[in-house]
Amino acid sequence: MKKYIKEYGFILLFVIFGILSYIYSFAFGIKASKTFLDMFIEMISFIPIVFVLVGLLDAWIPKKKFEKYMGPESGLKGTLLSVIFSMFQAGPLYGAFPIVYILYKKGASVKNIFIFLGCFSSLKIPMLTIETGYLGIEFTLARAIITVPLFIAIGYLMDYYLKNKDFKVTDPTESN
C-alpha cells in the first residue's frame, strides 16, 4: 500500500485538488483541471498511434539497413534522413520519445537522434503549414534556415560530448 501511495500520491493529490476546486469554485484549480483533462485526452488519443508506428518501424526495418543509413558512419546521408524523417511525423514532442528509443535500438547515432529530436520539435510539415498561414512563408523559411543548422550543430556537439560516456536511451516502458 505504501508503494502505491508513494508512486501515485501526487496524482491522488491532484485529483483531490481538482474536485475541491469545483466544489469551492476555485478558478485556478478549475482551469488547471480542465487543461489537464484536455492534455490527457489528447495524449490518450495520440499514444496508441505512436506505439503502432513504433512497432511497425521496429518490425519492418532491419537493424543492418538502419545502421547503414542512420548509424555512426552514415555521415551527411544520416543527417538528411534524420531531418526528413522528423518532418513527416505528427503530434507533440512526447510522441517522439518512443520513436527515439527505436532509432537508438536499431543503431542510429547519437548525432542523428538529437537532430531528429530537434527537427521533430519544430519542422513537422503540419506545423510548418500552420506557421506559414499565420506568419508567412518568409518567416517560416527564415526560421527553418536558422534552426536546421543549429539542430545539426547540436547533434554533432552531443555526439562529441557523449562519445566516451556511457550514454543509453532507456526503454520507455520500463520503470526505474
Could you tell me the residue ranges of all domains in the chain? 1-48, 61-176
The DSSP code for 61 is S
- What pLDDT score was predicted for residue 175? 62
Greater confidence (8 vs 172) lies with 8
CA distance 100 to 115: 11
- Give the distance, in angstroms, between the CA of residue 29 and the centroid of all CA atoms in the same chain: 28
Report pLDDT digits (tens) over 55-104: 777 778 778 887 888 888 888 999 999 999 898 887 788 888 888 888 89
CA distance 159 to 23: 52
Q: What is the mean pLDDT of residues 169-176?
A: 71
Report pLDDT digits (tens) over 120-169: 999 988 889 889 999 999 999 999 999 999 999 999 999 999 988 888 88
CA distance 108 to 104: 5
Cα separation values, 98 from 17, 67, 107, 117, Å: 31, 18, 15, 11
CA distance 60 to 22: 49
pTM of the model: 0.72
Residue 67, all three cell numbers: 545502421
CA distance 10 to 164: 37
Query: For residue 150, which amino acid is it?
Result: L
